[in-house]
Structure 1
């Protein structure tokens, strides 16, 4: 009986110690927290150094993250939001819910980074991924004029979807409505997020899917499968820089800062290329994995600054909705 009492006492003490650990809640997108995403490795590595519990909460996609934070407001359980991008920075700042960060790093980005609130953790180029043995259009006009079937994501809930809107608008300006009118009959479906869209493509539901130039690296490195490729468009490819920031209302400000510092560390950045399948924001000491040198590299990069993107978004969205409703 004494042994049982002692064991019970030890169990109680252990539970009490575990309960005393601070918890950091990070809102991110579903693919980040999936078994094959960065989430499990990030959680293990950060908890090993923070003596805390890292609670990763998955939301459908990047744009849906901002919608959830807006809805929850100052009552949000989130301490950090990870998964917005430069197209959403201005809208996010307008909420007044995010706090400045003191994080700095030697960023390996194609653009200079000066934002004092949002911290970049990876980047990439949007592209249409297809089977490598199939021919691919060389630009949006050729895509619209042909019968290639595509799957895209909703710009109201997905950062790739929003990136596609700004890609077309950046490349074609006032001619963007004509491009969308031509593309309307190519679109098989519009999904809420990237994961669903890419899954449907892999199931053979379309010829191409909106994704990233880095997506074929997953198949090549993780599956030893060279059957996927990213189409190179001659009008250029729109760039995405993914970012994170802490909430002003967090009750764990020091832990949130620690996580953002960890996010640009070599440990975190080495995880990104072969789990999130993007380019790391800070070049890891190990360099890029073998296989990344085979990826499509756009000859022209497109990126709208955050303030201009916020203005451009509404017009581009209206043009997209009008074309798809015909």
Structure 2
């Protein structure tokens, strides 16, 4: 009889699991890592949705859009999480994404209103370095110095593309000259952020392209105050990261539920100490101790999605030309 009861219970559990709807979210590798937001987000959402949340890591942010473009309407993704304002126009133009109905009061430095893309965090790009060195104060000084840097490829990485926009926003038509000067400083160009940051931590370069918030990780998670972000006097380029649902999704209601969850305290309070970015909506608990030590850029730089899309090819050509010489 005990065996029959056990078998019946096992069958019931298997049936319930099979009936649980699955929501597939394409995101970047660091999001789904053991130390990233993914595990906590998955547990918190599944506790409320009665579903199976499947987070699929696909390199870095820019690679996400390339993957979805390639798969088209045949994609397994219900949602994409990890695009940013520099990719929004290109993503919208694919026609693959559907409108949302999320309403929220965002704590972003810019006004936000978009019918397809929902922001979940934001930050400023910066070069992170050892606190023992005095970093260059701007891109010109960096180019004139012997300081070595690791950066990410703008064709596969949102930080890499953000760097192109940063230089373009700060220097406009002089951007090619800046890149010519920086070419000798670049040790290597990686596909994504994780690889670049790892090389920096291994001592392969003096600085790495990352975020003003990156030192908070070392301070809070490791009790290590040895890392800092260089404050550049021409300003810092912003990144607003966004998510959007696919029009081809057969779990549209569940995708809407996730987007609404994404702008709730349950999700937003996870972001600062896992993704190490500023939350799009300040949770009731506020920001963790340690974030007050971070630099605050004197000038915020940001192109509109339309302007970023219009400038991307030109900025990429300038970068490729400088690095090929």
Q: In structure 2, the residue corresponding to 1:87 is in which secondary structure?
A: helix
Secondary structure, aligned partner of 1:89: helix
Task: Return the TM-score normalized by structure 1.
Answer: 0.99
The Cα shift of 1:289 comes to 0.4
Question: 1:177 and 2:176 equivalent?
Answer: yes
Aligned to 2:13: 14
Partner Cα separation in structure 1 for residue 12 and residue 37 of structure 2: 32
Output the CA distance in 2 between the equivalents of 1:307 and 1:254. 29
Task: State the partner residue of 1:309.
Answer: 308
Matched with 2:144 is: 145
1:188: which partner in 2?
Answer: 187
- Which has the higher mean CA deviation after the structures are superposed, 122-131 or 5-14? 5-14
Partner secondary structure for residue 189 of structure 2: strand
Report the CA distance between 1:71 and its aligned residue. 0.5
Q: Secondary structure at the match of 2:111?
A: coil
The residue that corresponds to 1:25 in the other structure is 24
Name the residue aligned to 1:115: 114
Q: What residue number does 2:104 align with?
A: 105
Distance 2:256 2:13 in 1: 28
CA distance in 1, matches of 2:241, 2:156: 15
Q: What's the offset of the Cα at 1:12? A: 1.7
Q: Provide TM-score, normalisation by structure 2.
A: 0.99
Corresponding residue number in structure 2 for 1:231: 230
Q: Which residue of 2 aligns with 1:197?
A: 196
Inter-partner Cα distance in structure 2 for 1:118 and 1:185: 38
| 2-structure distance, mates of 1:87, 1:160 | 10
* Separation of aligned partners in 2, 1:12 and 1:72: 36
Structure 1: distance between partners of 2:107 and 2:5: 55
Cα deviation per residue 1:136-179 (whole Å; 9 max; x = unaligned)? 00000000001100000000000000000000011001110010
Match of 1:241 in 2: 240
Distance 1:10 1:257 in 2: 33
Cα separation, 2, equivalents of 1:199 and 1:310 = 30
Deviation, 1:104, is: 1.2
3-state SS of paired residue (1:88): helix
Aligned-residue offset at 1:3 = 2.9
The Cα offsets for residues 187-245 of structure 1, whole Å up to 9 and x where unpaired, read as 00000000000001000000000000000000000000000000000000000000000
The count of corresponding residues between Structure 1 and Structure 2 is: 325
Structure 2 CA distance for aligned equivalents of residues 23 and 252 of structure 1: 8
| CA shift digits 1:230-275 (9 cap, x unpaired) | 0000000000000000000000000000000000001100000000
* Superposed displacement of residue 5, structure 1: 3.3
Q: Which residue number corresponds to residue 220 of structure 1? A: 219
Query: Within 5 A, what are the aligned runs for 1:250-289?
Result: 250-289=249-288
Looking at structure 1, the residues matched to 86 and 255 of structure 2 have their Cα atoms a distance apart, in angstroms, of 23
**Which residue does the alignment assign to 2:40?**
41
Match of residue 154 from structure 2:
155
Unaligned 5+ segments in structure 1 are: none
Give the whole-Å Cα distance in 2 for the aligned partners of 1:104 and 1:266: 14
Question: Using the alignment, how far apart are the partners of 1:306 and 1:18 within structure 2?
Answer: 41
Alpha-carbon displacement from aligned partner over 1:53-86 (angstroms, at most 9, x marks no partner)? 0000001000000000000000000001000000
Deviation, 1:10, is 1.8
Name structure 2 gaps, 5 residues minimum: none
* CA distance in 2: counterparts of 1:279 and 1:13, whole angstroms: 43
Deviation at 1:106, TM superposition (A): 0.6
State the distance in 1 between where 2:15 and 2:108 align.
44
Moved over 2 A (4+): 2-6
